[in-house]
Copies of this chain bind each other. A is one copy, B any other.
Amino acid sequence: MNKPKKVAILTAGGLAPCLSSAIGSLIERYTEIDPSIEIICYRSGYKGLLLGDSYAVTPKIRENAALLHKFGGSPIGNSRVKLTNVKDCIKRGLVQEGQDPQKVAADQLVKDGVDVLHTIGGDDTNTAAADLAAFLAKNDYGLTVIGLPKTIDNDVFPIKQSLGAWTAAEQGAQYFQNVVAEYNANPRMLIVHEVMGRNCGWLTAATAMEYRKLLDRSEWLPEIGLDRAAYEVHGVFVPEMEIDLAAEAKRLREVMDKVDCVNIFVSEGAGVDAIVAEMQAKGQEVPRDAFGHIKLDAVNPGKWFGEQFAEMIGAEKTLIQKSGYFARASASNVDDIRLIKSCADLAVECAFRRESGVIGHDEDNGNVLRAIEFPRIKGGKPFDIDTPWFVQMLAGIGQSKGARVEVSH
């Protein structure tokens, strides 16, 4: 046992319904296991680390840390700052010209006397921290880095379930339970529910499943229009599954003719390759974010599906609805609160053993919860379209399962 004297916490990347609860769980666990261990939280992720700007976790914060489970987002703040994006760090005034952000960050950790750094973020956030540890190791500064896998996409190798994804699916389902009522605000209505998720369809599929659970619990009265057939999910399109547009358009035109509306759930990243190809063919520049990912907000597959399908299925009106921010900024539901706590409690255990890695249920180790070695952590895990509940759902909505598609990241 090599008990840390001082630990730091930082959150980074986009929001997910787990950041606040994860901060709360870590503070609560350290406080109940050994309140003598100092805790600081860097403000706005790596920005705060570079500037040496952090919250000191006072006794009052420790006593009231349970409040953090009731909030979404990250009270200590996120930012898209990446230590390897030197140009961006300079532009933001976080480092001087000629400085290496990684060196500045490392020095700050040493200056702050941090033994263990807990990062709550996506694969890029966690691997950036691992690089820091490696950097410091060369200067024999023993920094232990323990990551918690935050992403609503649930697309991190080899992690069975990432933090916040369940809540995002449940919130997206509740979002659609409201907006679906637009199905007959206009005859022959197409509603496109665009669900967040760059290159992974897990959230889209899980949101559709959660929404159909809500339909299972409703009572219907088709004689006066309360007909499950019109409230149903008619199509689920994920990047990992080939879409035979002609066949699907034919199937969905029949649905339109029958129930005068069509509701489809579409991954933000479904069909992106086709759209990007179309844009590049027209010589248009494809927008990318600080991490080099295609800036999906600017590329609008939902709108593209609306147009492509709207005409082919004879829709009179199209409504495109994005549940992204509503879902990802929510507070954690009870299942995620327990999953987060499972990981945070082990994270503190590992801190005492100075065991680095990303805490998660290791799919290559019988789903055992452990500190997964950083080198094995990778984003872009595709949604497995052979997952039983997905196969069952497609059958339930009469959609044939397309072939598996390799999604590029």
Contacts and interface: CB of A to CB of B under 8 A. Distances in A.
Interface string A50-68: 0000010110110011111
Given A69-B338, A184-B74, A341-B345, A368 B35 contact: yes
B325 A367 contact: no
Contacts of A330: 178, 181
Contact of A187 (B15, B79, B369): B79
Interface stretch (A138-146, A222-230, A239-247): A222-230
Nearest to A23: B224
Interface stretch (A25-33, A125-133, A276-284, A398-406): A25-33
Given A57-B224, A224-B55, A179 B325 contact: yes
Interface string A334-374: 11011001100110010000000000010000111100000
A121 interface: no
Given A185-B15, A187-B47, A77 B338 contact: no
Interface residues of A, number: 80
Total copies of this chain within the assembly? 4
B78 A185 contact: yes
Interface in A172-190: 175, 178-187
A78 B223 contact: no
A226 B71 contact: yes
Contacts of A182: 15, 73, 325, 329
A28 B223 CA distance: 16
Contacts of A342: 28-29, 32, 341, 345
A87 B14 CA distance: 49
Nearest to A191: B325
B14 A334 contact: no
A217 interface: yes
A367 B28 CA distance: 12
A206 interface: no
A272 interface: no
A30 to B, nearest CB: 11
Nearest to A230: B75
A162 interface: no
A254 interface: no
A345 B33 CA distance: 12
Interface in A291-349: 319, 321, 325-327, 329-331, 334-335, 337-338, 341-342, 345-346, 349
Give 8 nearest A-B pairs by CB, closest first: A73-B181, A75-B225, A72-B181, A32-B369, A181-B329, A77-B184, A345-B345, A178-B330
Given A28-B342, A175-B326, A178-B326, 14 more contacts: A15-B182, A33-B346, A41-B224, A44-B184, A57-B224, A61-B223, A73-B181, A73-B183, A74-B185, A75-B225, A77-B187, A319-B325, A337-B337, A345-B345
